[in-house]
Amino acid sequence: MRPWLLLAAALALIPQAIFAAALDRVRETGVVRLGYRADARPYSYRDAQGQPAGYVVDLCLEVANALGPKVRTEFVLVPADQRFEAVRDSKVDILCDPSSVTMQRREMVDFSLPVFIEGAAVISRIGKPVSIFEDLAGKNVGVLGGTTSEETLRKSLSDLGVRTNIVAVKDHRIGLDLLSEDKIDAYFADHGIIAAMLRDGARPGFQISKRYFSYETYALALPRDDGAFRLAVDRTLARLFRTGKIETIFAKTFGQAPADDLIKALIVINSVPDR
C-alpha cells in the first residue's frame, strides 16, 4: 500500500479510538467520576451530611446508572475556577454543576444536551433595589470569579460606561458574607443560586432583582471529541425529558411550582426520540 494510503488509514482510526476512550475507561474500571461543587446550590452542592446533592447532581446520577449495573460513582469536589480543566485533564468524566455553554469553553470541553436555562440577577439590601446596570454605579459589587456571570458583569458595565468596583470572590458564601457585613453593596450571580442561598441561609433584609441581567444555558461538561460517551449521556438525558421523569427531578429541587415557559420549551426540545 502506498505511504499516503497507510497514513489515511491510520488517521481514520484515530477518531474511533478517541471517541471510545471515556466510555471504555468507565466500563473497564467500573467507575465514573462525577465532578461537583460545594457552593452552587440548588444545582450542585454539599448537603448537611456532607454529601453531593442538587438538580444537576441528580441528572448525573441518572446518567451513571444508565452506564451499567456494575458502574459505581465516585464524586470529586472541584473548585469553580478549575472545573473545566478537571474535565480536560481527565480528573472527572462528567462535570455536574451549573455550567453555562460558551464557544470559548467548547474549545476545552464538550457539552451535553442543555439541562436548564437560567439567568443572572442581583442581591441587594431591601430598599436599595437594582433594576438596571446603571443602578450599580459607584458601588462595590461582588461576583464569583472565573464565571460567565463575572464576564457578563464586567462587559456590560464597560459597554455602558458605568464605573463600579467589582469584587471577585472564590465562593458564593463569601460573597453573601461580604454583603451581610456591608463590605459590598450588591452581589451578582445566577438567580437560582441566589434564591436558594437566601431561602436556606437565614439571611433576612435582602432582595433579588426582578429582572434577569443575562440568560444562560446549562449543560453537563464532557471530555472533548468523545462522541460515544457524549451519545450515552445525551441518550439518558433525552429519555428523562421524553418520559416526563425530569418533572420529578425538577420537583425534588424546585418544588411543585409550575415550570415557566423557558423550561417548558426546554422539555419539548430535549424530548429527542431514541429511534
Residue 103 shares a structural domain with residue 151? no
Q: What is the pLDDT of residue 202?
A: 61
Residue 218 near residue 99, CB atoms below 8 Å: yes
Residue 187 shares a structural domain with residue 241? no
Residue 223 shares a structural domain with residue 111? yes
Q: What is the pLDDT of residue 191?
A: 86
| Grid cell listed for 238 | 433525552
Q: What is the pLDDT of residue 229?
A: 96
b/e for 206-230, b at 16 or more Cβ within 10 A? bebbeeebbebbbbbbbbeebeebb
How far apart CA 29 and CA 24 sit, in angstroms, is: 8
**CATH code assigned at 179:** 3.40.190.10
Q: What stretches in the chain show pLDDT beneath 70? A: 1-20, 201-203, 257
Residue 169 shares a structural domain with residue 199? yes
161 by Cβ neighbours in 10 Å (0-12 / 13-18 / 19+) ranks as exposed
| Grid cell listed for 43 | 444545582
How far apart CA 5 and CA 139 sit, in angstroms, is: 65
Put simply, whether the predicted model's pTM sits higher than 0.75 gets the answer yes
Domain with 68, as residue range(s), is: 3-117+218-270
Q: Residue 106 domain-assigned?
A: yes
Q: What is the pLDDT of residue 2?
A: 57
